[in-house]
Amino acid sequence: MTSTIVARGLRKRYRGGRGTTALDGFDLEVPAGIVHGLLGPNGAGKTTAVRVLSTLLGFDAGRAEVAGADVARQPGLVRERIALTGQYAAVDELLSGRQNLILFGRLHHLGRREAHRRADELLERFGLTDAAARSAKDYSGGMRRRLDLAAGLLRRPRVLFLDEPTTGLDPRSRNEVWAAVRGLVADGTTVLLTTQYLEEADQLAGLISVVDAGRVVAEGTPDQLKSALGADRLEVVVRDAARLTDAAAILARITAAEPVVDIDRRGLRVPLRNNRVETLAATIRALQEAGITVADIGLHRPTLDEAFLQLTAHHPTSPSTAEAAAAASSPTAAASPSLTAAAASSPTTAASPSLTAAAAPPSPTASASPSPTAAGSSPTASASPSVGAPVSSSEVGA
Amino acid sequence: MRAALADGRVMAGRYLRHVVRAPEEIVIYFSLPIMFVLVFGYVFGSGMSVPGGGGYREFLIPGVFVMTMLYGIGATATGIAVDVGRGVLDRFRSMPMARSALITGRVTADLARALLETAVLMVCGLLVGWRWHQGIGTVLTAIALLLLLRLALSCVGVALGLATPNPDTVSMIVFPLAFPLSAVSNVFVAPELMPGWLGAVSEWNPISATTTALRDLFGNPGLGSDSWPAEHALLLAVAWPIALIAVFGPLSVRLYRRLGQ
């Protein structure tokens, strides 16, 4: 199997005052023709990884290959096969949309005529024909991002680096950019997408690597990452707080697991491995028979937000991580009410054994052990026996 | 090499298109030298006498040409700093173009601008009574000296723009740098009239060298000074820019390379 992007043990330390280590053994393998998401809090190393892979930045150790060319030894060849669309729309503010595309086309060594033709073609494709003569500085955020994207496609790149393509865009513009990205992938381009927006990764990415502190800490499909959090959960809210203990006993009996009790919300939460629907029905019946009035009951699948918060919660004392996670999840807040649940539940989960285990470096044995506790503690481990073979945490660390 | 030149040409076209699309910049840019001609030529000039004899405005205009070249540093440095500060430089650097094209393009565009500016100022000069008194060959030599100086200052501007990648900071640095250089020179006042050490600085100032050389070439009234720098103005007008290029050219390249570290 050939991978379009391969990175092995990349290390990058920024010189100068702070001397921060931005990449610390960064491994990545991206198959051709998919959107691969790089997810992580601010300062996790996502942007550094993209800058290294797109030849903008040198690196200290490791090896990287993009579109069949060695990043360190053949940067010119890499540049011919990639395109980069930056966090801050990288177009010339003064030039018009068309002039921008012609300029970049000429610098891509398309002939004058070909550059003009490609420019008009891309303006058309990205719905910018009417604004073609206006200065890019008068474009709206979404138009500018589309122009930026168009500029990346002049030469039909094999790999497109999309560094936070929708940061600061309104939902409509975001959808426009997403549609454009989907179109690209359908044409065979491989996209490496960095984003803080979990919904974006969920929508676009076939595979996600979660980056934290300069390395990949988990990898898999969005679904794998979600189920990595542990299984789906059965949540019960009882009307009468006095019956909480009784209800907990019933749940424990049916699911053979110890429910987490949330006294303030009069709620109970218990992970479900299998027989989800049967367990739900049995629980409802049992609670009815015991005469416990239920205010709410349901099955909940962990969201990517929760997966993200848990996977990157290595630094309990670091406020920046929490802040970044909060900032990252905010755009999805409008779309998914689950965010409140995720944020609200994190303090309680902190007390539960699963997070403590996740915070510790996952042990290599965890991936082999199918026992519920081990599976629940190591996100990648729990996914591996059931679905495909995401890179296990132990392998990443090696 | 051929491709690098072609990329540089495309990039120069980009900077020149900026001039066309934002003409207000060049208007602001021209207003300063024209203001100097008017203020010094008419307001202060009536109270000035040229030591070597002759009209003050004829004395002044060659210096204004040179000063305009000097203030071009601002446009160069700002242009580069804007590119560095915004993501567009990343785009350029991620493309298969010659990396030198940004700098060669900028310098080429600067020279084209310098030519335009000189032409406009010559017309202004002619309107206020300035003339050249020797053959067209000397005029062309004078223009060549101006372009050489602009080339050197362009290198200084590129280095400045790369060293301070914030357009606002750039303009705050350029004026305090350029203004004393133009004031402490022989553009407006004879160095002999300044306090000793200031006069010496003024004598050796690169701005003074090119100004004196231009006065000689145009046959405009000069200061008639017999100091070494005044006697060898033409030599200095060539040597100074070459020295500046030798220092700031490689420095620019190094700063540009460092962006990828």
CB-CB contact of B37 with B57 (8 Å): yes
Distance from CA of A341 to the nearest CA of B (A): 37
Which residue segments constitute the domains of chain A, with CATH numbers given? Answer: 3-226 (3.40.50.300), 231-302 (3.30.70.100)
Nearest to A387 by CA among A231, A233, A221: A221
Rounded to whole angstroms, how far apart are CA atoms A70 and A117?
Answer: 32
B10 in contact with A, Cβ within 8 Å? yes
Distances B19 to A170, B22, B75, B161 between C-alpha atoms, Å: 33, 5, 11, 18
Average pLDDT score over residue span B115-121: 90
The predicted pLDDT at position B166 comes to 80
Of A57, A90, A106, the CB nearest to B88: A90
Of B7, B21, B261, the CB nearest to A58: B261
Rounded to whole angstroms, how far apart are CA atoms A308 and A325?
Answer: 8
Average pLDDT score over residue span B247-257: 91
Residue numbers of the domain that contains B211: 2-43+52-257
**ipTM for the whole complex:** 0.86
Of B13, B87, B92, the CB nearest to A87: B87
B86 in contact with A, Cβ within 8 Å? yes
Cα torsion B27, B32, B38, B40 to 10°: value is -170
Residues of chain B in contact with residue A95, where contact means CB-CB under 8 angstroms, are 14, 17-18, 21
Mean pLDDT of chain B: 89
B87 in contact with A, Cβ within 8 Å? yes
Q: Which residue has the higher pLDDT, A396 or B71?
A: B71
The predicted pLDDT at position A289 comes to 92
pLDDT tens, N- to C-terminus, chain A (398 residues): 578 999 999 999 987 656 688 899 999 999 999 999 998 888 888 989 999 999 989 999 999 999 999 999 999 999 999 998 866 658 898 999 999 999 999 999 999 999 999 999 999 988 899 999 999 999 988 888 889 989 988 888 999 999 888 887 788 888 888 888 898 899 889 999 998 888 888 889 999 999 988 999 889 998 888 776 666 788 899 998 889 999 999 999 988 888 888 888 899 988 887 777 888 899 999 999 999 999 999 888 777 777 777 777 754 433 343 333 334 333 333 333 332 233 333 333 333 333 323 333 333 333 333 333 333 333 333 333 333 333 333 333 33
Nearest to A307 by CA among A247, A395, A217, A183: A217
A79 in contact with B, Cβ within 8 Å? yes
Residue B254's region, left for phi above 0, alpha for psi from -120 to 50, else beta, is: alpha
Cβ contact A90–B21 (<8 Å): no
Domains in chain B, number: 1
The DSSP secondary structure of A361-380, one letter per residue, reads PPPHHHHH---HHHHHH-HH
Nearest to A163 by CA among A206, A212, A200: A200
The sheet carrying A69-70 orders its strands as A21-31, A3-13, A61-66, A69-70
Number of residues that this document lists for chain A: 398
Matching residue, tokens 């015991």: A290
Of A15, A90, A95, the CB nearest to B91: A90
Q: pLDDT by residue (tens digit) across B39-58?
A: 888 887 777 777 767 788 88
Distance from CA of B256 to the nearest CA of A (A): 12
